[in-house]
Amino acid sequence: MTTPPASAAPELLRVTDLHAFYGESHILHGVDFRVAAGELVTLLGRNGSGRTTTLKAILGLTGKRTGSVTVDGRETVGMPTHKIVQLGLGYCPEERGIFASLTAEENLLLPPPVGSGGLSVDELYAMFPNLQERRKSPGSRLSGGEQQMLAMARILRVGARLLLLDEITEGLAPVIVQALGRAVRTLKEKGFTIVLVEQNFRFAAGLADRHYVMEHGRIVDMIPQAELTASMQKLQAYLGV
């Protein structure tokens, strides 16, 4: 691993005492974690522990939220979603969020730039060749794997530096999971900062610098990659596997 230790790099994302609600239901109960620039961290936990909601709350996609979320030192609680994203965020939602009424290429070209240094369409087609073949197809006709690749490619084009990836391997064939693993590794080498919510622990374990464990809407533990093997028993208890 060539990445410097987390402490050396400047902090890109800092979440402090984050509470989030959907209507009357209180989902996040004071989430605290931080991510350094260039780091890849995972949010692990059982279903319903609040990992997806944490990503949504960072983007302002939940209902009311309190606490603090800073991106590159700028407070974003209270900002509208599109302003937060313009700070350089890219979001890959759990349901992939491919627009059915747009073609694959329209989907790819849709998001406006949120920063400099995005990958070109050619680079993206080189990374995900299937997308080039399918570029005229409506979003609704793409396979699950193609949709996931498109959802990834879409946020890489816009120059986002901080990627929030939610369950990108869910329900996909092993060969596609491997391709996504290679893509995520490439992104990390290119210096992207990534927060990965992942059910597939083996996928996450091979990529991450640190793992945050969530339970009942809180972060309950943090495990650096180096201590992962030693912490397996503890982790299995957390995840119930």
Counting every residue written for the chain, the total comes to: 241
Give the contact letters, 6-45, x = binds to other proteins (CB under 8 A), - = no: ----------------------------------------
Which is closer to other proteins, CB of 62 or CB of 225? 62
Shortest separation between residue 211's beta carbon and other proteins, angstroms = 25
The CA-atom distances, in angstroms, between 14 and each of 2, 32, 36, 99, 160 are: 23, 8, 9, 31, 17
Which is closer to other proteins, CB of 9 or CB of 59? 59
Q: Which of residues 87-146 bind other proteins (CB under 8 A)?
A: 89, 91, 93, 97, 99-102, 106, 109-112, 114
Among 6, 37, 61, 79, binds other proteins (CB under 8 A): 61
Which is closer to other proteins, CB of 67 or CB of 111? 111
Shortest separation between residue 146's beta carbon and other proteins, angstroms = 18
Beta bridge partners, 162, equal 89, 193
CA–CA dist 45, 34 (Å, integer): 17
Among 13, 31, 156, 158, binds other proteins (CB under 8 A): 158
Shortest separation between residue 147's beta carbon and other proteins, angstroms = 13
Residue 238's nearest CA partner among 39, 19, 32, 47 is: 47
Residue 81, interface with other proteins (CB under 8 A)? yes
Order of strands, sheet of 11-22, starting from the edge strand that comes earlier in the sequence: 25-36, 11-22, 65-71, 74-75
Which is closer to other proteins, CB of 152 or CB of 235? 152
Which is closer to other proteins, CB of 59 or CB of 207? 59
CA–CA dist 66, 200 (Å, integer): 30
**Number of amino acids touching other proteins (CB under 8 A):** 24
Which is closer to other proteins, CB of 43 or CB of 213? 43
Residues lying near other proteins in the complex (CB under 8 A): 59, 61, 80-82, 85-86, 89, 91, 93, 97, 99-102, 106, 109-112, 114, 154-155, 158
